[in-house]
Amino acid sequence: MTKDINKRNFDEGTSIKLELFKLYLREWLPVFISKKAKTIEVFDFFAGSGTDVNGNPGSPLIILNEISNQCEKLVQNNIRLKVLFNDLDGDKIDILSENIGEHLKTCSSSSKYDFCTNPNDSCPFEIKLTKEDFKDLFERWYNYFLNSQGVPRMLFIDQYGIKHVSESIFKKLISLRHADFIFFISTSYLKRFKEQPEFLKYLSINEIEFDSSNPYSCHRAVFNYYKSLLASKKYYLGQFSIRKNGNIYGVIFGSGHPLGLKKFLDVAWKLDVHTGETNFDIDNDSVRVGQYSLDFDNDGSANKVKKLVGYELDLLKYLEDGRSNIEIYLFSIENGISIKKTNEILKRLEEQNMLTFGGEARRKGAFYLDFEPEKKITIKIL
């Protein structure tokens, strides 16, 4: 039986998952505040009680902190921020309700802004609590989502195990235009029991080829499985693997917009400066654990991160025919590489006189990698 996450201290794996979620929310919210959306919605479908046993904030309190940090701008722009917290365990929701009450009391008594003293009149938050099974709840909300596709939404699905984001739920998630999602999955369980009829009911994963030479890369295989479900749909997925107690868990991120994935990768590369995808040494990169090779006869690749070496080779090949900065932006994020990293590689290639440029006049060292670039340029390898 799964141990109750809220009755223990959040372990390192849980903490990094929550950090990833928090930092993404911090990037995501301002996008829609600056666009002056009328309503922004956040759904925490597996909310828990709000904290761990030592009072460290879980997803609901993280959400409240992040939206509270934006409340002045929300009020100025007349934006309603609606949040739904759900958990099947009614006792947890009762504790969460108290935690939320405390948060709002502290928030309003801080008198940070004029409107804080009268939160009932002007507080921009609408908070709803429910105690339902995710499956029923999601089906109901899904119809509402379909009928209000213009509303920006963040959906957090912090399940235990694997079964709640079944193939059919995943397909519903990716059918939504402005709903970014993050879900958590116990990848090791999925790998261990992938032939079991019980699991095959939810996900047809018996075809997944896990890499036996690198068992710790199993979340990459699971990510590729979800990617295969996109078929030809233009949709942007990201992933992050988390190792805890010898097992691998992971996060799958999705957005209908490239900016969503760009921001997810910014956060992922902030948390993992080597590969942007894990809290452990996934590829046996000696540099990652601070060991440097003294083999000076080679090109120094022994001291490089394997994923980046592979990416650079792919990028060089991709640039052989000349590519627009928009194409390179998409190539970078679709390969799970942050735009900052791709900029660094291009800068080095330019310094080595390996690149030639076309299109609008440009500044040296600027590549304008964006989905709507301020200048349109092309870059080709010489």
- Asked if residues 236 and 255 have their Cβ atoms less than 8 Å apart, the reply is yes
Binding window for ligand SAM (CB under 6 A); candidates: 32-40, 45-53, 189-197, 201-209: 45-53
Q: CA 368 to CA 210: how far, in whole Å?
A: 37
CB of 161 to ligand SAM, least distance (A): 9
Point out which span in 80-88, 139-147, 342-350, 362-370 binds ligand SAM (CB under 6 A): 80-88
Nearest alpha-carbon partner for 318 in 277, 292, 346? 346
Quick check: 163 and 181 in contact, CB under 8 A? no
Q: Give the nearer residue to ligand SAM in terms of CB position, either 101 or 161.
A: 161
Candidates 34-42, 81-89, 211-219, 322-330: pick the segment binding ligand SAM (CB under 6 A): 81-89
Q: Give the containing element (helix H, strand E) for 127.
A: strand 125-130
Least distance to ligand SAM, CB of residue 245, Å: 15
Least Å distance, CB 280 to ligand SAM, is: 20
Q: Which residue in 231, 224, 212 sits closest to 250, CA to CA?
A: 224
- Measured from the CB of residue 305, what is the shortest distance to ligand SAM in angstroms? 30
Number of residues that bind ligand SAM (CB under 6 A): 17
Cα 225 from Cα 336, distance rounded (Å): 15
- Name which position in 39, 130, 142, 160 contacts ligand SAM (CB under 6 A): 160
* Span near ligand SAM by CB under 6 A; candidates 43-51, 110-118, 294-302, 344-352: 43-51
By CB under 6 A, is residue 66 in contact with ligand SAM?
no
The least CB distance from residue 76 to ligand SAM, in Å, is: 30
> 181 exposed, middle or buried (CB, 10 Å; 0-12, 13-18, 19+)?
buried
Amino acid (1-letter code) at residue 14: T
Residue with tokens 């009072």: 55
Rule CB under 6 A: choose which of 28, 32, 43, 46 binds ligand SAM. Answer: 46
Nearer to ligand SAM, 6 or 342 (CB): 6
- Binding ligand SAM by CB under 6 A: which of 24, 32, 85, 134? 134
Q: Specify whether the CB–CB gap between 72 and 113 falls below 8 A.
A: yes
Q: What CA–CA distance (Å, rounded) separates 57 from 64?
A: 10
The distance in angstroms from the start CA to the end CA of the chain is 59
Q: Which stretch binds ligand SAM (CB under 6 A): 83-91, 104-112, 217-225, 294-302?
A: 83-91
Residue 88 found at the interface with ligand SAM (CB under 6 A): yes
d(CA 88, CA 367): 49
Q: Does 158 bind ligand SAM (CB under 6 A)?
A: yes
Q: Which tokens in the block code for residue 149?
A: 């596709």
Which of 25, 47, 165, 268 contacts ligand SAM by CB under 6 A? 47
Among 11, 19, 72, 89, binds ligand SAM (CB under 6 A): 89
β-pairing, 153-157 vs 39-44, is: parallel
Which residues make up the interface to ligand SAM (CB under 6 A)?
Answer: 5-6, 18, 46-48, 58-59, 86-89, 92, 133-134, 158, 160
